[in-house]
Amino acid sequence: MAGILFIISAPSGSGKSTLVSELRKQVSGVDFSISWTTRAPRGSEEHGREYYFTNREEFERMRDAGMFLEHAEVFGNYYGTARHSLEEARKIGHDLLLDIDVQGAAKVRAAMPEAVSIFVMPPNPKVLRTRLRNRSRAEGQVNESELYRRLSEASKEIENYRDYGYILVNDILDRAVAQLEAIVLAERYYRNSEPIAYRSRRVLEVAAACRQPNSQERLKPVLEAFGILNPSGQQQLNFEEDSDDD
């Protein structure tokens, strides 16, 4: 049985890593591709767990040797997915999850149109700002310019949502985790006829509601909050911190 390739993208701070780590606790048989990056480790991150950390010279050497399935420069650092990750997962028939940015996702989708792509959104810019700030505080390194950089990229990244098969709005964590799990189980059911037990109907409904064409009503307030639905582009993003968030 061939594994399924899942791609997950989101503006930084939306909660993608949190969702993926919850998914891994609840669903077996999904391997997580550990990317290579030239960015410095954050907080408690460890080499070989969240990322393989390297320098630009080594990354460029690997890139030139064709070791990456895709690579991109994000926030001034290189990130890349090793071909090896995909080969390993294929060998053992596991699903593989790639946590990559919108540029990397476009490259993988072009090469592997059968991949299942999922875009995670924060409910609004204020919540995103609060989450980014809380994460920086927890890691003991609030870097205002880095924070601002990640926030200002968010709406540009969100504009790519139409290229993704599924959309998750990560507002209430438990609900978003259940939706992500439902997408994985539903795709296994459709592609591999894998049984999904007594919850099957509910799981299929939850996953279907997250399909991009079925998400328009749910997305409208999110897109408005990020100024994306305003055709004049005049709307100002509101990054004021909301004291009662989170």
> In the complex, which residues of this chain contact ligand 5GP (CB under 6 A)?
9, 12, 35, 39, 70, 72, 74, 79-81, 99-101, 103-104
Identify what 100 binds: ligand ADP, ligand 5GP, none; CB under 5 to 8 Å per kind: ligand 5GP
Sign of the alpha-carbon torsion through 57, 58, 59, 63 = positive
Which CB sits closer to ligand ADP, 58 or 245?
245
Q: Under the criterion CB under 6 A, does residue 12 sit at the interface with ligand ADP?
A: yes
Q: Under the criterion CB under 6 A, does residue 160 sit at the interface with ligand ADP?
A: no
Contact call for residues 126 and 240 (beta carbons, < 8 A): yes
Which CB sits closer to ligand ADP, 67 or 178?
178
Q: Under the criterion CB under 6 A, does residue 13 sit at the interface with ligand ADP?
A: yes
Q: Under the criterion CB under 6 A, does residue 133 sit at the interface with ligand ADP?
A: no
Q: Tell which residue, 46, 86, 50, 88, has the closest CA to residue 69.
A: 86
Which CB sits closer to ligand 5GP, 12 or 117?
12
Residue 69: Cβ within 10 Å count: 21
Contact call for residues 52 and 44 (beta carbons, < 8 A): no
Tokens standing for 121? 């959104």
Each residue of 18-50: b (16+ CB within 10 Å) or e? Answer: bbbebbeeeeeebbbbbbbbbeeeeeeeeeeeb
Which CB sits closer to ligand ADP, 141 or 230?
141
Which CB sits closer to ligand ADP, 54 or 179?
179
Position closest to ligand ADP via CB: 15
Q: Under the criterion CB under 6 A, does residue 15 sit at the interface with ligand ADP?
A: yes
Report the residue from 103, 134, 160, 212 that binds ligand ADP according to the rule CB under 6 A.
Answer: 134
Count interface residues toward ligand ADP (CB under 6 A). Answer: 15
DSSP 160-185: GGGGSSEEEE-SSHHHHHHHHHHHHH
Whole-number Å distance between alpha carbons of 202 and 93: 26
Q: Under the criterion CB under 6 A, does residue 241 sit at the interface with ligand ADP?
A: no
